A and B are shown apart, each in its own frame.
Chain A
């Protein structure tokens, strides 16, 4: 990957990992701590090259585990530094304990994650079980469909995390290998534009402010713990607004608008699929194909998983001609009714008094292919559900029999 500054806007052939590394370089964080794990490793190769060649001012910490990577980021952020790390799959699982510390201490750490399956069996390929396993640890969670979205989301994440109304860690997921290692056209901003967009951090309660010593991470007993948690919930609710604001400002800069969800041909749709990550691209293409055959199909892509945009999802479904919905999860909740996205969508609908036929679809675990045919199969399941036929709680796509 070329080691150079961006003085003018360019469209470049980049992988998701290259795009993420470029975003990191342009953000120029104070501290980056990371540990190698496939398929994230490459991001840090590229970033280390920037460090070695003096293109960033970052203190780059090559620590001995993901647990220490996030622990060091917590220390750095509490000191007032703009701190980042990146990981994948089992690495995020190892960080799990400290994710809750980072959010509980309200530290705005930005964490790009290359989505990878969890062991066992060990598997280095994509699914969302890593982020789904961390979904209740209080971090904002965005999912990117492609390399450019990952680049754009990482840049916006700095603003979202550091906003005084929020101050929470942000995890930005992109699908391992499918996005992280595939080359696409990526439109980059200039260094100055990114620098201006992310702005300069303000030192609040810095550990380095020795004249005003602050205690970070105290013990809170039953008389105060719940208030801390309630404040985190409020911060997360504020994030709903702040993510939208950041998206609007980003649109002014780049012309591409980011919202909590993206809808594709849902207005008159009778059959709707809901999906996150790279499968959304495949699904849009499938929708086009089926539409040519006269089928009324549509797609909702969820970008913000935490805070979950329950109003947005229901509003779109409500405004369509929906007969049935299929929710596609790239993760399992063993023993639950269906996947985590399914559960969020069902709750969103039920609590608004909207009851539609809905079915869960699990796909792509451990990197299992999900191509046009599989998305068509998913629409078939939704159609059968609409027709009142017997459909199991969860349908596995592309499962070997």
Chain B
């Protein structure tokens, strides 16, 4: 395990040098084409963005992937999409698994048995179900033990792999297969669990929220996580056209709207200090974000105006809290 150091030194955003896009896009993909992710699935985009940042910083990612869309779509035996070391153990234990790998790295390094002395970073990769819900205990334990790893949650706000069931990351009033919008109950009654603040409560050095529509910010945050000693938690917005009943070509647009409406604020927390990285000049109504997605369709029926209001309140409340946290 990593020694608990006082305060890890962060690279500043200014210090992160992003190579020209042309150079980034000409890098050899670490995720091979031919995987079975749905058309328009943004998880694939997120993976490529991660690998670009890792490659630019000369890191090889060693990944433990929780059960979920990415896992099943990229590893159908006898094929694999992964050009980096990758392990799938089960649904609820990506964090425990990757910390075992990290412990093995330290042990074998001591014994002089490492096959390579190149820079590596350990990554646990999971969806919101594998993070907010079933993987929560394993994740919390791994943070507390202060292992040197990045936890990446691609948050598409429901159990998409098993068929769009609600998770604790599903927003209020969204329609899912286990909480469908009906005549009596209009979708999920509870608001979305706010995972980033729970991660921060562990006292880990770096927590950030990212969106694939804001690649520059994404690149900087992933690079910072790479350079952080100890645990980092990255909460990444991930459009799911199938589960959200959105247009396949609008994944990045929806991500952009999530940011512009403050539905998905971009912020980072270094050693407990909060910083909002993007404050929209003119915050758009959450309606702009909702109307692109079939999961919120019932909220636009006449008589359901209060549903939209309630979700707008959830968004505003969170933003206000963020502003307060930033002042701390």
Tell me the A residues contacting B by CB distance below 8 Å: 30-31, 33, 57-59, 61-65, 67-69, 71-81, 83, 97-98, 101, 203, 206-221, 224
Interface residues of B in 225-253 (CB under 8 A from A): none
Contact among B77, B83, B96 for A75, CB-based, below 8 A: B96
As a 0/1 sequence over residues 133 to 154 of chain B, the CB contacts with chain A under 8 angstroms (1 = contact) are 0000110110011000000000
CB–CB A208/B75 < 8 A: no
CB–CB A30/B141 < 8 A: no
Q: In the assembly, what is the distance between CA of A206 and CA of B115, in Å? A: 8
Given contacts A30-B108, A31-B103, 8 further A-B contacts (CB under 8 A): A30-B103, A64-B144, A72-B103, A75-B100, A208-B85, A209-B116, A215-B82, A217-B75
Q: Could you say which interface size class chain B belongs to?
A: 35 or more
CB–CB A71/B141 < 8 A: no
Stretch from B7-15, B86-94, B274-282 contacting the other chain: B86-94
CB–CB A31/B62 < 8 A: no
Sample (21) of A-B pairs whose CB atoms are under 8 Å apart = A30-B103, A30-B111, A31-B100, A31-B104, A57-B107, A61-B99, A64-B144, A67-B92, A68-B137, A75-B104, A77-B100, A78-B101, A98-B90, A101-B89, A207-B62, A207-B87, A208-B85, A208-B114, A213-B85, A215-B86, A217-B88
Contact among B78, B83, B89, B108 for A208, CB-based, below 8 A: B108
Contact among A30, A31, A203, A224 for B78, CB-based, below 8 A: A224
CB–CB B107/A210 < 8 A: no
Among B75, B80, B113, max chain A CB count under 10 A is at B113
CB–CB A59/B77 < 8 A: no
Contact among B75, B78, B99, B106 for A72, CB-based, below 8 A: B99
CB–CB B93/A98 < 8 A: yes
Contact among A62, A210, A220 for B60, CB-based, below 8 A: A210
Which residues of B sit under 8 angstroms from A83, Cβ to Cβ?
100, 104
Interface residues of B in 108-142 (CB under 8 A from A): 108, 110-111, 113-116, 118, 120, 137-138, 140-141
Does B64 lie at the interface of the complex (its beta carbon under 8 Å from any beta carbon of A)? yes
Does B72 lie at the interface of the complex (its beta carbon under 8 Å from any beta carbon of A)? yes
CB–CB A72/B100 < 8 A: yes
Whether A75 contacts B107 in the complex (CB less than 8 A), given A63-B141, A215-B80, A219-B75, comes out as no
CB–CB B107/A30 < 8 A: yes
Q: In the assembly, what is the distance between CA of A128 and CA of B80, in Å? A: 40
Among B92, B96, B144, max chain A CB count under 10 A is at B96
Which residues of A sit under 8 angstroms from B116, Cβ to Cβ?
208-211
Whether A80 contacts B113 in the complex (CB less than 8 A), given A208-B104, A210-B120, A213-B84, comes out as yes
CB–CB A218/B77 < 8 A: yes
Minimum CB distance partner of B94 in chain A: A71
Q: In the assembly, what is the distance between CA of A106 and CA of B98, in Å? A: 18
Whether A31 contacts B107 in the complex (CB less than 8 A), given A83-B100, A207-B87, comes out as yes
B contact face: mostly helix, strand, loop, or mixed: mixed
Whether A221 contacts B82 in the complex (CB less than 8 A), given A31-B104, A62-B145, A80-B113, comes out as no
CB–CB A210/B88 < 8 A: no
Which residues of A sit under 8 angstroms from B111, Cβ to Cβ?
30, 57
Does B71 lie at the interface of the complex (its beta carbon under 8 Å from any beta carbon of A)? yes
Q: In the assembly, what is the distance between CA of A113 and CA of B98, in Å? A: 24
Which residues of B sit under 8 angstroms from A101, Cβ to Cβ?
89-90
CB–CB A68/B77 < 8 A: no
Minimum CB distance partner of B103 in chain A: A59
Contact among A31, A33, A75 for B98, CB-based, below 8 A: A75
Does B1 lie at the interface of the complex (its beta carbon under 8 Å from any beta carbon of A)? yes
Q: In the assembly, what is the distance between CA of A59 and CA of B99, in Å? A: 11
Whether A210 contacts B77 in the complex (CB less than 8 A), given A31-B104, A72-B97, comes out as no
Report A161 CB to chain B, min CB distance, Å.
16
Q: In the assembly, what is the distance between CA of A199 and CA of B80, in Å? A: 33
Whether A209 contacts B88 in the complex (CB less than 8 A), given A68-B138, A72-B99, A215-B80, comes out as no
Q: In the assembly, what is the distance between CA of A74 and CA of B116, in Å? A: 21
Which residues of A sit under 8 angstroms from B86, Cβ to Cβ?
207, 213-216
Q: In the assembly, what is the distance between CA of A31 and CA of B96, in Å? A: 13
Minimum CB distance partner of A64 in chain B: B141
Report A227 CB to chain B, min CB distance, Å.
10
Minimum CB distance partner of B144 in chain A: A64
Contact among A67, A212, A220, A221 for B93, CB-based, below 8 A: A67
Q: In the assembly, what is the distance between CA of A176 and CA of B99, in Å? A: 30
Whether A219 contacts B71 in the complex (CB less than 8 A), given A67-B138, A75-B87, comes out as yes
Q: In the assembly, what is the distance between CA of A76 and CA of B103, in Å? A: 7
Q: In the assembly, what is the distance between CA of A39 and CA of B95, in Å? A: 27
Q: In the assembly, what is the distance between CA of A201 and CA of B87, in Å? A: 20
Does B76 lie at the interface of the complex (its beta carbon under 8 Å from any beta carbon of A)? yes
CB–CB A75/B89 < 8 A: yes
Does B105 lie at the interface of the complex (its beta carbon under 8 Å from any beta carbon of A)? yes
Among A33, A81, A97, max chain B CB count under 10 A is at A81
Q: In the assembly, what is the distance between CA of A310 and CA of B311, in Å? A: 65
CB–CB B85/A218 < 8 A: no
